Structure 1
Amino acid sequence: MIRRIDLRGRRASEPALDYRAVVPRAPFDVEAAVDAVRPTLDDVRHRGAVALREYASRWDGVELTDIRVPVEAMARALHELDPDVRAAFEESIRRLRAVSEAELETDTEVRVVPGGTVTQRLVPYRRAGVYIPGGVAPLASSVVMNVVPAQVAGVESIALASSPQKEYGGLPHPTILAVCALLGVDEVYAAGGAGAIAMFAYGARAGEGPDTEVLCQPVDFVAGPGRITTVAAKRLVKGIVGIDSEAGPTEIAILADDTADPSYVAADLISQAEHDPMAASVLVTPSVELATAVEAELERQVPATKHVQRIGEALRGEQSGVVLVDDLEQGLAVVDAYAAEHLEIHTTDAARWAARVRNAGAIFVGPWSPVSLGDYAAGSNHVLPTGGCACHSSGLSVRSYLKAVHVVDYDQAALRDVAKHVVALAEAEDLPAHGQAVQVRFGPGTDGYA
C-alpha cells in the first residue's frame, strides 16, 4: 500500500544524494494552470457579478440571481447547526483567539539619538478576502483559521467567498455559513475558485455597465486554500493584492523510533491522506520493526475508512512513503530537508528532537498531539506552508494581516548631528541631490551643520 525508501548507509554528504528529492511531491504545476485561469480573471474584472453568475451555472449547475448570501441564510444555518458541532466550533474559536491575542505585537519606538526616533507601527489591512473551498470537503474549520487572526489583528472589513452548492439551492455549504454567523462575518458570496479570487482583487459590479452598483469592493489581502486553479489565480493577482501563500496538497511527515505506537502512526498518516489523492504521507524511521508494523496497520485501518479510494491513492502515490534511516540524526536531516507542512515527532524525548527541527509548518510533539488536533482545536493555525515552503515561510497568523510601517521623527538638532554622514554617503553613491536635500535646511556648505 505504501512504498519503502531505504537510506540506511547513505548520508546527504554523498554525491548526488539530496534529501529534498528523497520523497517526490505530487505534481502541482501552478505555472501551467496560470494560462488556464487568466481568461476567468479578465472576465470577472470586466463583467463582475454577471460573469460570476454564468460560472455558477456552468461549473456548479446553479442559477443565481444574486451572488451575495443573505444574512438571514447565515442566521438560519447557525440556528440549524448541530449543538455539539456548534460547541466544538466555539471551543476552536476560543483557543485560536487566545493564541492569536498572545501573538499580537505592539508598536516599537526606538530613541536613536536625542531628538530622533524611529517607530515601527503595525497597521492592519483595511479589508481582507477569505476563500473557503466547499467541493471535496466543506472546510468550515478554515473559516475559523482565516477569520480569527484577521479579527484579532484589527482588519476592519472581511469578505468571504465559497462555491455555490446545488444541493443547498446555490448557497455555500450551511456549515460554512453557520461559522460565518458565529464569527460575525456577514459579507459572504456564493462564488468559487478563480472567479472568487478575481472578485476580491478587482472588485465586482452587480451589472456590466460602469455605472452599475459595486457589489463587492476590492480587498487588500487574500487568504484561504483551494485547488490548483485557485492557487494559480492567487499567483496572477499577487502584487495587486497581498496573498497568504500558494498552498499545494497537504502533507504529513512523522519522525518515529521503536517506541512509537504503530496504530497511532498509521492513523495519522491516513488522516492527511483523506484530504486529497495528491496528499503526502511520509514516515521516517530507523526501526524496520516499526515500519513493518505501520504497514500492517495501514492494511487493517484503510479498508475501515469512509474515503477508501482517495486514501489508498494518496498512500500509493509517489509523494508518500516509509523512509528507513540509520538513526534519528539522519532522520532529522531528512525531515528538515523535506520541510513538511505538518511534522509529528514520535520518539523518546520527543520535545528535545522537536526543538532541533528547523523546517516545518507546524510541529506536533509526542503521541498525544496528532495533526488532527491542530486541524481543529489545538489553538494553532492549520493554514501552513506546503511543498517545501516551510524552509522559508510561516503559517497564517495575526502577523499575516499586519504590515509594518516605520515612522521617522527627527528634530533640527538631531538632523544637524547626522547631516554630514548623509551627505558623505550621498556623494559616495553619486546622488548629490540626496545630500542637498539635507544641506538646504542648514545653508550652503558643510559648516552650517557641522
Structure 2
Amino acid sequence: MINLSLDKHLGIMTPVTNKALAAVLREASPKEMEMLSKDKDLKSVITSLLKESSQNADSNKTLLTLVKNNPTLKDLGNVSSSIKDLLSLIKNDKEPLKIETVLKKFILDTKEELSPPVLKQKLQNSGVFLESKLKNVQNPQVELKNTLLTLEKSIEKSNLPVAKLVVQNIRELLATPTLRDATNLALLESPKDEKSALKNIAKEVAEIVSKLNGAQKAPDIAKEISEVISKLNEAQKSPNVEKSKVHIAEPIYSKETLSLTSKLTLFSDAQKLLPHEDVRDILSKDLKAILLKTSDEAAKSSHPNQSEITKHVDKLLLQIDYFQLLSHLSSSSILYVPFSWDALQEGSIDIKKDKNSVFYCDIDLKLKEYGELKLKLALYEENQINVHIYSDNKDFKEIVKENISSLRSALIEAQIIPKEIRIFDATKKNPSPYGQEQREINMGFEIKA
C-alpha cells in the first residue's frame, strides 16, 4: 500500500520556493487577486494565503481554481516527456552531466515488471515529498542552533560574570552564517566548503563547554549551591515562609543548564556537525534534489547545450512544484508516475480513502489509438473489488471483453477478489461502482502519468 503525506508548512506556499505559485500570482487578474486577499500587494496576498490556507477552505478553493486554469501551468506537458527531452540534450556531449544516470533509472517502462516496492520507491523519490522528508531528518547544525538558543535563555538572567561571557559567546556563534541560516530546507542549497567554518564553530562550542564546566565544578561552589537549592525547596513547602523572600537559585547550576552543557559537548567535534547519512541518501535519490543540484552544475558547465539544459531543468522543477501546490491546496497527495508507454497520450489516477478504509480509484486515460478510457475501482474489506470500465470505442470494448477472464485471473493471483467487472458506454449515464457515494472522504491522492 502507498502511504504518503505532504506537510503543509514546508515552504511550499511561498512564491520564492514554489515556482508554480509564483506563476499563478504573476498572471492572476486584479479581480482574482482581490478574491484571494483584500489587499492588492503581493506581500499581503502571500501573508493572507499562509494564514488562511490551513483555516479557510474557500481560500484554498479559489487559489486551486486559479492554479488549474493558469495558462503557464496548463501547458507544462508531462514529466516523462520532460525527462526524455532532458536526457536527449545531455547525451550530446562526451562528458554528460551526472544526472543522466539518475534520469535513465527514473523512467519506468511498462514492458518491465512494475513491482509494488519499485513503484513505491519511485513515488517517494518523485520530488513531491522532498521537503516533507527533510523536515523529519536530524540536522546537527539545527540541533546545535536550538541548543544554544535554549542555553542562552536559561542563563541570561544570571549575575555571574562567567554566565554573561557565555551568553555573549553564544550570541556571536548564532550570528555566524552557518548557524544563522541553519534550517533543514537549507540542505537543498549548493553545498559550501564549510570545513573551516565548522572547525571554528566546534572550537567555540568547546570553549563554552569549558567555561560552564569550570564554573559548575569550582571548589565548594557546587556543594554550597546544592545545599541552598535544598533549603529553598524545603522553605517553599512551608506555609509560614513568605515566598517573596525566597531567592531563586543561580541558573548556571540548574539541572537544565547542566543537561544543555552535556549536550553541547557532542558538538565540539566538527565531524559531528556534518549532515547525517540519511540526509545524503535523500539528496542523492530524490529527483527534485538532484534537479536543484544539476541546475547549479549546468550553470557552471561548458556543455554545448548548457542554456537548453538549464531551461529543461527549470521546467521539470516547475512541474514538481505544480504537483506540490496542488497537493497543498487539495489536502491530498497529487503525484505523477513516470511511465514510459507508447500507447498512452495522457492520463491521471485519483485515489481516495474514506473513514471506513474503503479505497476509491478513478483512472482517466487518453489512448493514442482508442481515445478516452475511464475506470472506476472500489476496494473494500481489504481484498474485494468492483471494476467499472467506460469507453465509447467499440474495438477497445471488444478487446476488454475478450480479456476479462485474464483480468480476473490476474486479480485473483494478486489475492484480490473481483466481485464485479462491467463495461459501459462512456457518454451514457451509468451506475456507480461506489454505491452510496456520500461517505466522508478523509484522504486522497492523485497520480498523474
- Tell me, yes or no, whether TM beats 0.5: no
Normalized against structure 2, the TM-score is what? 0.22
Q: Which has the larger radius of gyration?
A: 2
